[in-house]
Amino acid sequence: MLNRMSISSKLRLFIPYLLILSIVASVFPLPLTSGSALAQAADDRPLPPIKPRLLIAPQPTPPPVPVQMPAAPTVPAMTELMERIDLNAPSPAWQNTENFLILGTDRRGNESVWRTDVIIVVGLDRQNGRAAVLSIPRDLYVEIPNYGMQRINRADYLGEKEMNIEGGGPALISQILKNTLGIETTHWVRVEMQGFEALVDAIGGVTVHLDCPFFEPILNLDTNQWEYFTLPAGDVLMDGRTAHWFTRLRLRESDIGRARRQRQFLWALRNQLVSTNLLARFPELWSALNGLFSTDLSLLQMVDLVRVGITFDATNVHAAGITMQQLQPITTESGAAVLQINNPYLVRAVIDGIWDAQPMSDTNRQSDSAACAPVPQGVPVVPYNNAQTTPADATATPEPEAAPANE
């Protein structure tokens, strides 16, 4: 029966998977694939041995990005905030929504250990025709039940391995988010890193508008030198490899800046998928997406989500993230660099105020071009284990970029 299905019939079955992945495919860190001479400067974990020519060099952990911290709330303002927010109660903004947990893992091949470096909660408010997207930092320092205080990006692996069932990891993360942030999720999608470049290439690339030039340090394995990966301001048509680096690199902007770029690319990818002739590219898309993700959603549920989601106006899809305005970088006794919530009331104010957040289509926009940081010249100075990994005659140090005013 299946063999006699027409291409268009297969496509009707395939489209829900594709559009669900349009929610998540842009936000996942990706592996270095054959033919590239570049290695990203952002991932801080050692990699298993692979072909020497393609070996990613040891990656430095990005130093905390200096930010302009907001003035501490006045005593009356903080008192009012504390009276208004009950940390022990579910967030009222997320109580009447269907909440989906979107996870992106850094698992490579048959590795037995992985980390979940992309954690996004999507809330669907059918009654009011709107949706919310919230980014959770990978280095958020949280209480993992039975494991104590750890980075949240370890919870998926721990839950999956300990429970030994599919979905044990998302269930554990959902419990952590409920306990820490007051958000309870009911369904989950987990995306593996394989296939993202193929997806972007199969739809003909994705156009992203950059208000400022983009630059991040990256290691060129041909020269064994750090250099800048750059993109110009304006409309940039990104192929799979370019999109890979745009959504992955984080040494200069930290994971907070990377999360903004991921949401920005996510919206551009959504627009591209809506306007793309899927039928003409069906074989390529099927090859790119097959086996890319797992979920507890049924096919009928995904069809329903797509049907509802495509009706939302761009102004009714709101997006935000927990940022350094609510977090404090600390170093644990074991030497791990993590992000600690410095005031839970400020974090809950972001979560409870999600419907007042900017439209997702405005993420990472900069209205004043004069505020754009110029692309540095010369070789980046990249800190690694308190040492410099570039030559002594390096002529430029990457400067941290302030978050856009509306973030």
* Nearest of 120, 180, 144 to residue 354 by alpha carbon: 120
Residue 370 has pLDDT above 70, yes or no: yes
Cα radius of gyration (the chain) = 21
Q: Tens digit of pLDDT for each residue in 261-279?
A: 999 998 998 888 777 766 5
How high is the pLDDT of residue 73? Answer: 59
Instruction: Give the whole-angstrom CA distance, residue 174 versus residue 120.
Output: 11
Q: What is the pLDDT of residue 254?
A: 86
Q: Give the C-alpha distances (Å, rounded to integers) separating 43 from 29, 138, 152, 265, 322.
A: 9, 12, 16, 19, 20
Residue identified by tokens 């029966």 is 1
**In this predicted structure, what is the pLDDT of residue 384?**
54
Question: Is residue 50 over pLDDT 50?
Answer: no
Query: Does residue 248 register a pLDDT over 70?
Result: yes
Amino acid at 310: I
Residues 6+ apart with CB under 8 A from 384: 58, 60
Mean pLDDT of the chain: 76
The answer to whether residue 390 scores a pLDDT higher than 80 is no
In this structure, of 39-43, 113-117, 165-169, the range with the lowest mean pLDDT score is 39-43
Classify 2-388 by CATH class.
Answer: alpha beta
Most confident of 13-22, 239-248, 295-304, 381-390: 239-248
d(CA 157, CA 278): 34
Q: Kindly list the domain boundaries of the chain, sorted by start residue.
A: 2-388
Confidence of residue 8 (pLDDT cuts 50, 70, 90): very low
Within its chain, how far is the Cα of 57 from the centroid? 23
Q: Who contacts 261 (Cβ-Cβ below 8 Å, separation ≥6)?
A: 214, 246, 247, 253, 364
Percent of the chain with pLDDT over 70: 69
Q: Which of 10-24, 168-182, 243-257 has the lowest mean pLDDT?
A: 10-24
Alpha-carbon distance of 139 to 328, in angstroms, equals 11
Question: In the chain, helix, strand, coil percent, each to 5?
Answer: 35, 20, 40
pLDDT of residue 225: 85
Q: What is residue 27's predicted lDDT score, i.e. its pLDDT?
A: 37
pLDDT level of residue 29 (50, 70, 90 thresholds) = very low
The closest of 182, 68, 190 to 118, measured between CA atoms, is 190
pLDDT at 284: 67
What is the model's pLDDT at position 1? 45
